[in-house]
């Protein structure tokens, strides 16, 4: 730190901005920012490598506010250090369309690395960021050229550590020895309900030591020098580090500090006045003196740090031009130029082979075809690799001492999904990870966060229905596909064969503005014949798979139920009833098509029947109240798949009856 300004005054600027913004909004959480202000001084003034003028500088440190309710701490830091976040935005805290929403949101506020708020996911995103950094460094760094070399810092509180996902993520981080990950724990003993000792008595240091972390105990979180020394120690460790900082929530408030009353409510004018007096802060609300701004200003330092890195990168580019170009491409999120050629060749091969295989196997084949042209692929599975089939011939398992491109996440579905989001946020990789569809429930909030953040995370879900068979109703998906379709900005693909599976993968990879789920069968599904136009239309989410002159009805199906639709239409044709088949692998994508195209697929006035091995209610938006839906509105049973499909009414006879009923 070059400034001679007392660190207490620097911290008090954060406290003042936090309590003033919350008071003006009459909404928010002043306690954490006031309690962690000194920790923030130690990190941001002495260690945090960043450039406020270029928030997306590739080799910046990443900072994650896992306890995101304390967002004013982060906004105060961004404002004071020189980011494009004006005092007017601070005054506008928690107001419509401001850059200072209630919880930090990536791409809304310059300098925010991830959207936090759901506790535990911030630290888990950070694990993904640190993992991405470690793998990229192993892939691209050369002796004397550490072009990827930065830390991931996390602020977290008791709430994050109570969430089960923190166990999933931090356990894996310790196993993989993510030494560039440093978490600072705000150990204030308070949550919204009060003193946590009544429900949270974990020995947190021992817990993290058991994960394989470096733990620095009992640091005075209000002693900037002590926190600074702890961070220095952490940076020298070959393990991830947890720095346990004892703090007082609402530090500075003479009547409310140390209580849950200051956690999530404005202090009130009277207490704010008393706090100002106690801190010796004589300035008006939202008034920061010039000497404080000067002490916090990181623009020149940030410019110099980035310039030094740019010099290193220039030398690296001269010596390793291929690697430098590849790193730039991948960090920009651009796809390789030969991707389309590889996709077209693979789809042509699928058409030629006409294989009847499970779509989970079709997915693996697609991965195998794409991986050689997508070195940014970073796959994985939550323990079920041999079932989910997310590995490929050339993939290398990631280990603590081994860089690779396939992660064994262990039985950690939620952790996997949020780590993937962190990898996507960091940049340089396209992450995908898999589990059984039923266990998407464990991952659901991370899927929602991926959609909210518009991340290119690809979630692979196999064993997609009662077709799973003998494992029974605990493992059989019923409501899952429809419920995933309810998440805004999440594209869900349920393909019916090798070609649709290839297109689903292609579209997920090419999508830059949101995540995708790829939903695959356990059982074999037959290849469907298509012409070139039909293949081209798969990417539109729904298309006419089989048409008939003077069709009297439309059958809509997805995934494994396409086979039943085809058999039923063939039988109906024998009875003189012409029926169109519409395959709709992605209702989300289909819904975004123009009205003319949708009308060409689902012709107005034709009765419709939908078939899907899941809940029926979703499909009435397409078939209308007069249409028919063949689905399942109960839980499944344990039996072979073929027996189950017959038991639950997925038969030609039932489809024919449903069609005839709509025509009556």
Query: Which residues does the annotation mark as catalytic?
Result: 413
* DSSP 3-state of 367: helix
- Phi first, then psi: give them for residue 379, nearest 5 degrees: -90, 180
The residues near 35 (Cβ < 8 Å, ≥ 6 apart) are 186, 188, 221, 247, 248, 249, 250, 251
Q: What are the DSSP calls for 424-486, one per residue?
A: HHH-S-EEEEEEEGGGHHHHHHHHHHHHHHT---EEEEES-SGGG-TT-TTT--SSHHHHHTT
According to DSSP, the β-strands at 608-611 and 553-557 are: parallel
* Inter-CA distances, 581 with 528, 542, 568, Å: 12, 10, 10
The residues near 37 (Cβ < 8 Å, ≥ 6 apart) are 11, 12, 14, 15, 18, 73, 251
The 8-class DSSP code of residue 103 comes to S
For residues 559 and 494, the answer to whether their CB atoms sit within 8 Å is: yes
Mapping DSSP onto H, E and C, the string for 571-638 reads: HHHHCCCCEEEEECCCHHHHHCCCHHHHHHHCCCCCCEEEECCCCCHHHHHHHCCCCEEECCCCCCCC
Return the H-helix or E-strand segment holding 65: strand 62-65
* DSSP 3-state of 373: helix
β partners of residue 214: 241
According to DSSP, the β-strands at 194-195 and 190-191 are: antiparallel
CB atoms < 10 A from the CB of 352, how many?
8
Give the CA angle between residues 330, 331, 333 to the nearest 5°.
Answer: 65
Nearest Cα to 222, choosing from 255, 188, 197, 256?
188
What is the rounded CA–CA span in Å between residue 429 and residue 630? 40
């Amino acid at each position: 730190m070059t400034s001679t300004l007392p660190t207490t005054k620097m911290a008090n600027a954060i406290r003042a901005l936090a309590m003033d913004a919350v008071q003006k909004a009459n909404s928010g959480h002043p306690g954490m920012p006031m309690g962690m202000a000194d920790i923030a001084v130690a990190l941001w003034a002495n260690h945090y490598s960043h450039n406020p003028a270029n928030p997306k500088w590739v080799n910046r440190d990443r900072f994650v506010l896992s306890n995101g309710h304390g967002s004013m701490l982060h906004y105060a830091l961004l404002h004071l250090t020189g980011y494009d976040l004006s005092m007017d935005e601070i005054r506008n805290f928690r107001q419509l369309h401001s850059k200072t929403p209630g919880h930090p949101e990536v791409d809304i506020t310059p300098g925010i690395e991830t959207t936090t708020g759901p506790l535990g996911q911030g630290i888990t995103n950070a694990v993904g960021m640190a993992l991405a950094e470690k793998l990229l460094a192993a892939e691209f760094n050369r002796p004397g050229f550490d072009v990827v070399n930065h830390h991931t810092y996390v602020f977290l509180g008791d709430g994050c550590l109570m969430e089960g996902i923190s166990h999933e993520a931090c356990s894996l981080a310790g196993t993989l020895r993510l030494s560039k990950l440093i978490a600072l724990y705000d150990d204030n003993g308070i949550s919204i309900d009060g003193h946590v000792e009544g429900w949270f008595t974990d020995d947190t240091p021992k817990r993290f030591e058991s994960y394989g972390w470096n733990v620095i105990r009992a640091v005075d979180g209000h002693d900037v020098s002590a926190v600074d020394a702890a961070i220095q120690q952490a940076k020298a460790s070959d393990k991830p580090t947890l720095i346990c900082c004892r703090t007082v929530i609402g530090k500075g408030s003479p009547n409310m500090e140390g209580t849950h009353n200051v956690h999530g409510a404005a202090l009130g004018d009277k207490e704010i006045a008393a706090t100002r007096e106690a801190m010796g802060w004589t300035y008006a609300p939202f008034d920061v003196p010039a000497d404080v701004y000067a002490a916090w200003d990181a623009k020149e330092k940030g410019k110099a740090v980035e310039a030094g890195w740019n010099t290193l990168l220039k030398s690296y580019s001269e010596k390793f031009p291929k690697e430098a170009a590849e790193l730039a491409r991948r960090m920009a999120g651009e796809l390789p130029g030969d991707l389309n050629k590889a996709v077209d060749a693979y789809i042509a091969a699928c058409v030629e082979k006409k294989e009847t295989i499970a779509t989970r196997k079709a997915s693996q084949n697609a991965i195998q075809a794409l991986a050689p042209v997508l070195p940014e692929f970073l796959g994985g599975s939550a323990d079920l690799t041999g079932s989910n089939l997310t590995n490929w011939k050339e993939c290398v398992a990631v280990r603590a001492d081994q860089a690779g491109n396939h992660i064994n996440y262990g039985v950690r579905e939620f952790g996997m999904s949020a780590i993937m989001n962190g990898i996507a946020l960091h940049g340089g990789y396209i992450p995908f990870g898999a589990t059984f569809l039923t266990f998407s429930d464990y991952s659901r909030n991370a899927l929602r966060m991926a959609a909210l953040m518009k991340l290119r995370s690809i979630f692979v879900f196999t064993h997609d229905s009662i077709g799973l068979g003998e494992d029974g109703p605990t493992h059989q998906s019923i409501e899952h596909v429809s419920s995933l379709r309810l998440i805004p900005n999440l594209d869900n693909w349920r393909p019916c064969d090798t070609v649709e599976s290839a297109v689903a993968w292609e579209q997920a990879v090419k999508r830059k503005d949101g995540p995708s789920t790829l939903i695959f069968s356990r059982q074999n599904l037959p290849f469907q014949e298509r012409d070139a136009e039909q293949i081209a239309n798969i990417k539109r989410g729904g298309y006419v798979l089989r048409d008939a002159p003077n069709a009297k009805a439309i059958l809509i199906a997805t995934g494994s139920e396409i086979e039943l639709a085809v058999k039923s239409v063939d039988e109906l044709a024998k009875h003189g009833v012409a029926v169109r088949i519409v395959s709709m692998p992605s209702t989300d994508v289909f819904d975004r098509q123009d009205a003319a195209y949708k009308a060409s697929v689902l012709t107005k006035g034709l009765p419709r029947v939908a078939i899907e091995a899941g809940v029926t209610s979703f499909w009435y938006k397409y078939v209308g109240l007069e249409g028919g839906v063949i689905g399942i509105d109960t839980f499944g049973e344990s039996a072979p798949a073929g027996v189950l499909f017959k038991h639950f009414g997925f038969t030609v006879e039932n489809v024919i009856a449903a069609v005839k009923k709509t025509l009556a």
